[in-house]
Structure 1
Amino acid sequence: IQPWLLFFFFLLVAGSFWAYLEVSTSGGYNDTLQAYAAGVVEAAVTSQLIYKHWMNTLMGYCGPFSPDVSYCQRLKDYITSNLQWLMQQMDAHADAPYWHQVRLSLLQLQGLEDGYNGQIEFPSGSLSINPFGFLLFQMGGDLEDLEAALNKSHQSRAVGSGSCSALIKFLPGRKDLLVSHDTWNNYQSMLRILKRYSFAYRTSPTVETIMLLGGSILAFLVYLCLFSWIYLQVTLETTIGNSNAELWRFVRPRGAVMEWLRNIVANRLAQSGQAWTDIFSKYNSGTYNNQWMVIDYKVFVPGQGYTKQGLFTVLEQIPGMIVTADRTEELFQTGYWASYNIPYFEEVFNASGGQELVQKYGSWFSFSDNPRAQIFRRNQSLVTDIESMVRLMRYNNYEEDPLSRCDGCDPAQNGENSISARSDLNPGNGSYPFGALRQRPHGGTDMKVTSAGMFSRLELVAVSGPTWDQVPVFQWSSSPYSTLLHMGHPDRWAFQPVHVRWSTYHLSSPGCP
C-alpha cells in the first residue's frame, strides 16, 4: 500500500476525552484498495485504543474461559454461515451497488484487523473474516439480540434497559432544526472516537461521513447508538429491542445482512430519507432492533412552514417486520420528535411484546407515559438554542423531579428515569421491579447535537462522559465499580462540551458555539 494513498489525521484531546480521526482516500486507486487501506491506516494510528477497548468490553466474550461454551459455538456457527452467504451474494452480484458496498465495508474491516495484527496483505480472493475477531466490535448491537435468539444462558441486556435518547427540535419560528442524541451504555465502553471519512470511491459519489461513536473505540463502523450524516442527511437511532420470543424464529443466518452493514450501505447509497429506508429494509436480520430517524437537511428551509414531505422519515425494525413512514407533517405540528427506546408504530409495539410489558410492569413501558416521554414533553419548549438543547439532553435531576419517580422502587426516585441516565447512583441495596432500574455501571455516556447551519459545515457539539450537570461527577475510584477494567479511562469524568470544526481541526472548549 503506497504511502500517498491516504491522508489521515488523528488526535486524542485529553481535555474533552474524545479522540479525533480523519481519513481520506485518493480516487486514483480502485475502490477495493481504498477500503482495505483505510482499515490498515486506521489500525496504525488507533491500535492502542483498540487494544484497551477490547480489554474493557470484549475480553472473555466467547474466549477460552467463556461461561457459556454452547452459546459461543452456536454464535460462531451463525456468524460463519452468515459470512458464507454474504460471500456468495457478493460473488453472484459483483456489479450490484448494494453488494459492492458490502464488500468494501468488509474489506475495510479486514484491513483494520490485518493492520492491527501486522499481517498486511491485500486479499486477492475471498475475504477472510474472523468470526470472533474485530467483527464482534461491529456486531455489538446485533449481539444483544443474538444472545436472546440463540438462547444465551446469561444475557447482557437487562429487562427494560435503555439504550439512547434522541430529540429533533425546531427552534422558535422554525429558524433552525436541531438534531441531538445521547448514547446510553455500559461505562466500560467510554473510549471513543469522533471520525470523519472521505472515501473517493469510483462507483458512488464521494463517501463523506461523520461518525459519532456511541460505544465503540473501533470506530470505522459503529455499534450502539449511531449518530452520523452523509449526503446532507443525519441518521440516528434508539434501540427498541424485542420482547416477543416467538419472533426470534425470523433470525436466520442466510438471507440476512447484519444491521451494522445495512446501515453503512444505506448511508453510502441513499440520497433521501425514503431511499435510505428502502435500502436499509433489505435483508432484515432481526438483530439490533431500533427506531431509525432520518433528517434530510436538503429539504429544510429556515423559517418556512410545512410545504412537503421528505424532511423527516422514521423506520422501526423488529424480527420479521419493518415499518416506515414519513413523519414530516407531525414534526411540523408538534415542533419536536423524541425517541426513547419504545416503538412509535402501534403494530411494532404490539408485535414486539409492548402490551405485555405494560400489563406486567405498568406505564414505564408505554410510549406516551414513559418517564422520558413525559420529561421531553414538559421540557422541550425550553430549547431555544444549542446551549439549551445541550442542557436538556444532559438533564438528570432524578432526586427532585417527580417524573423520575419509580412506582414499586425503594427508594422511589431513580437515576435511570431521566434524559441522560445515571443508573450508578441508584442504591445497591434498593428494591426494583426489573433490571433496568437497579444500580448498574450504565447511563448516558455522551451527548451530540448539530443544527442546519453547523451541519452544512460538518460541525457539531459533543460531550463525553456521564452527565454531571445536576448530579455528582462519575469517578471510577469512588464508584461501586472501581474494580471493573477501564484501561485508558480518566478517573474523573468532568468534561465540558466541545465544538468540533473539521475543516481546521479546531476544537473549542469549554462551552458551545
Structure 2
Amino acid sequence: MAFRQRRTATSFKSVLHLSLAVLCFYCPVQAEISTAFVDKATGQLSVSEGYRDDFVAWANFTDAIETSGWAFLEVTTSPRFNDSLQAYAAGAVEAAVTSQLMYKHWMNTLMGYCGPITFDSGYCQRLKAYITTNLEWVMEQIQQQGNKPYWHQANLALLQLKGLEDSYNGELSFPNGPFSINPFGFLLFQMGGDVEDLESALNKSSPARPLGSGSCSALIKLLPGNKDLLVSHDTWNTYQSMLRIMKKYTFAYSVSPRDGAPLPGGTQAFSSYPGSIFSGDDFYILSSGLVTLETTIGNSNPALWTHVKPSGAVMEWLRNILANRLASTGKQWAEIFSKYNSGTYNNQWMIVDYNHFTPGQTVMKGQLLTVLEQIPGLVMYADKTQELLEKGYWASFNIPYYPEVFNDSGCNDLVEKFGPWFSLDKSPRAQIFRRNQTAVTDLDSMVRLMRYNNYKEDPLSWCDACDPHGNGENAISARSDLNPANGTYPFGALTQRPHGGTDMKLTSYGMFRGFEMLAVNGPTWDQVAPFQWSTSPYKDLLHMGHPDTWTFKPVKVTWAS
C-alpha cells in the first residue's frame, strides 16, 4: 500500500474557530479540516483543505496521540446530496486527513500479509478467491435488492470504503454504476476479525491466534440503587495495533430509497483505527439510544468451519455496520445482525438500550439488555434484562454464555483437556469480575476495575500449570508481555507475547446522550510497570507513529456537534 503525502491545512488552522472535534484535556493541538464538494465547473467530486458551506462531507481531525494516546475524527455528511454521494465523500474526506496514520497502521499491522512474497501461497489464493466470491455475491444482492434498507445500507458502506481507498490513492472518481473493491486493499482493515477465523476455515498452515487467546473484556454495571448504568469495554489486541482514532460519524442517509426517514443509528461515536470505517473493537454509542459492544468467543470445533461459505453470507464487519445503523431496539439489532451469518469473527454481543433505563428506577420497562452469540451455523440471542437486574452486572470475557454455543463451539473439550480456565464460571476473569464488581460505585472505580491487573499477587491470576504461576493474561486487562519468555505454559494464550488490554472505554447514562465517553489508550500500568517499546522484548517490531512509553490517563471525549 503506497503512501501518498498530503498537505496540512496550516493556513486554515490559524483562523479556525469551529472548535476541535474532541475536547481532550491533555492535547492543546489544532484541528485539520477537509471538505468534499461538487465542483461546479466540472460536476466532479473534489476534496480541499478547510471547511466549505457547500460540503457533501467534511472531516475534522485532531492528532493528539503523543499527548493523550488518541487521535480524534468527526465526519459529517449533508442531506442536500443523495446517499451514495454522501457515502463516497465520507470515505474521501476521512482518508484526506488520516492518510499518514493509515499508512503507518498498515505498515505496523498488515505489511506483508498475502503480499508479493507470500501471495502465491495456497492460503492467500484461497483467501482471495473467498473474498472475491463473497463480494460478487453481495454486489449481486445490491443490484437486485438495492431499494431495501439492508442492501441499500450495505451499498453505502462499500461506497464509503471505496471513497476511502480512492482518496488515499489520489484517484477520486465517484462510481455511477457497479464498482469493485480490492480484496487485499483497505478491505483487510475491515476484515481483521473475519480473517482470523478464515485462517482456520481456509486451512492456513499457522493461524495467527494462539489457543485461548482472549480478545476483549466487557462489563455492564448497575450502580447501587440503579443510580446509573455504566457500560465499559477493554480491547485486547496486539500492541502493534495501538495507533487509535476516536471517531464520530454523522451521516444524513435515508433508511432506503423508498423510505426517506433518517437512520436510527445515523450518528455513531466509537473507538476505531486508521483506515477502518467501523470500530473493530467493538464499542459504539448510537443515536438510536443503543450502546453495542462485544467480546470474541471464537470457535474451537473444526467441524463447524463447513458452515463458512462465501455465497449467502455477509461478513461480520458489514453486518455489524448494518445493525448499528438500522436498529432502534435490541431485538431489532439482533434480528438484523443474525441475517446471512458468515460464521466469522464469532463474538458475544451485548446491546444496551438506554431508552429503557431511568436512573433510580428499580423496575425496568422494556428490553434493557440483549445478548447475542454467533458461531458458524448458529446465532442465539435473548433478553437478559432480568439477569442484569438480579445480579447487578453482566460481564463478558471471551467464553460463550449460552450452553448450545458453549458446547457446539468446542468449549467442553477445552475444559476437559485444560481445566476450568476455559469454563464460564471458573475462568480467571469470570471470578475476578464476580468478586470485584461489588466495589464499583462510580466512574473512577469502574475505570480501576477495567484496568485491573495484579497478576503477581492476586490468587485468581494463579496458573497451576504455569511456571511462574502468576500470569499476566489472567486479569481484566491482560499484560502478556510481562510473562517470562522462558516460562512453562500449557497453551499459547499464557505465553509471553506482544498482546494484552490495549485500551478502555466507558460511558454512562449521563454521557451517552452526548456520545461522550471516558477512554484511555495503551496497556494498563495501574498496578504493573508501564509498557515501553524501547525496553520491551518487542522493540524490533514495527510500531510506526507510536509513543515509546504508554502512560496515558483517561480522557473525557466530547464532541463539537
TM-score by length of 2: 0.88
Q: Which residue of 2 aligns with 1:6?
A: 57
Q: Is the 8 A contact 1:211 1:219 kept in 2?
A: no
Q: What SS does the corresponding residue of 2:164 show, helix, strand or coil?
A: helix
Q: Which residue of 1 aligns with 2:106?
A: 54
Distance 1:77 1:197, change over 3 A: same
Matched, 1:469 2:526: yes
Q: Which residue of 2 aligns with 1:112?
A: 164
Q: Is the 8 A contact 1:141 1:224 kept in 2?
A: no
Matched, 1:322 2:379: yes
Q: Which residue of 1 aligns with 2:235?
A: 183
Distance (Å, rounded) in 2 between the aligned partners of 1:230 and 1:95: 23
Q: How is 1:117-132 mapped onto 2 (pairs within 5 angstroms)? A: 117-132=169-184
Distance 1:343 1:68, change over 3 A: farther
Q: Which residue of 2 aligns with 1:198?
A: 250
Measured after TM superposition, the shift of residue 371 of structure 1 is 0.1
Equivalent residue letter for 1:7 = W
Q: How is 1:157-172 mapped onto 2 (pairs within 5 angstroms)? A: 157-172=209-224
Distance (Å, rounded) in 2 between the aligned partners of 1:344 and 1:254: 29
Q: Is the 8 A contact 1:193 1:219 kept in 2?
A: no
Equivalent residue letter for 1:190 = M
Q: Which residue of 1 aligns with 2:268?
A: 209
Q: Is the 8 A contact 2:479 2:501 kept in 1?
A: yes
Equivalent residue letter for 2:277 = F
Q: How is 1:45-444 mapped onto 2 (pairs within 5 angstroms)? A: 45-66=97-118, 69-203=121-255, 204-206=261-263, 207-213=266-272, 216-444=273-501
1:68-116 deviation line (CA, Å, top 9, x unaligned)? 7100000000000000000110011021000000000000000000000
Q: Is the 8 A contact 2:285 2:512 kept in 1?
A: no
Q: What SS does the corresponding residue of 2:363 show, helix, strand or coil?
A: coil
Q: Is the 8 A contact 2:356 2:364 kept in 1?
A: no
Distance (Å, rounded) in 2 between the aligned partners of 1:308 and 1:346: 27
Q: Which residue of 1 aligns with 2:18?
A: none
Count of matched residue positions in the alignment of Structure 1 and Structure 2: 502
Distance (Å, rounded) in 2 between the aligned partners of 1:228 and 1:71: 37
Measured after TM superposition, the shift of residue 308 of structure 1 is 3.3
Q: Is the 8 A contact 1:309 1:326 kept in 2?
A: no
Equivalent residue letter for 2:60 = F
> Which sections of structure 2, spanning at least 5 residues, go unmatched?
1-36, 39-51, 256-260
1:440-467 deviation line (CA, Å, top 9, x unaligned)? 0000000000000111122100000000
Equivalent residue letter for 2:558 = R
Q: Is the 8 A contact 1:164 1:225 kept in 2?
A: no
Q: Is the 8 A contact 1:294 1:312 kept in 2?
A: yes
Distance (Å, rounded) in 2 between the aligned partners of 1:407 and 1:356: 19
Q: What SS does the corresponding residue of 1:15 show, helix, strand or coil?
A: helix
Equivalent residue letter for 2:249 = Y
Equivalent residue letter for 1:10 = F
1:403-427 deviation line (CA, Å, top 9, x unaligned)? 0001200000000000000000000
Distance (Å, rounded) in 2 between the aligned partners of 1:48 and 1:36: 20
Q: Percent identity?
A: 66
Q: Which residue of 2 aligns with 1:20?
A: 72
Measured after TM superposition, the shift of residue 8 of structure 1 is 1.8
Q: What SS does the corresponding residue of 1:348 show, helix, strand or coil?
A: helix
Q: How big is the alpha-carbon RMSD for the aligned residues of Structure 1 and Structure 2?
A: 1.1
Q: Is the 8 A contact 1:175 1:302 kept in 2?
A: yes
Matched, 1:486 2:543: yes
Q: What SS does the corresponding residue of 2:254 show, helix, strand or coil?
A: coil
Distance 1:230 1:145, change over 3 A: farther
Measured after TM superposition, the shift of residue 67 of structure 1 is 7.9
Q: What SS does the corresponding residue of 1:5 show, helix, strand or coil?
A: strand
Decide which of 507, 510, 513 is 1:456's aligned counterpart.
Answer: 513
Q: What SS does the corresponding residue of 2:68 show, helix, strand or coil?
A: coil
Equivalent residue letter for 2:85 = L
Distance (Å, rounded) in 2 between the aligned partners of 1:5 and 1:307: 41
Distance (Å, rounded) in 1 between the aligned partners of 2:106 and 2:287: 28
1:285-337 deviation line (CA, Å, top 9, x unaligned)? 00000000000000001111124341000000000000000000000000000
Equivalent residue letter for 2:218 = A
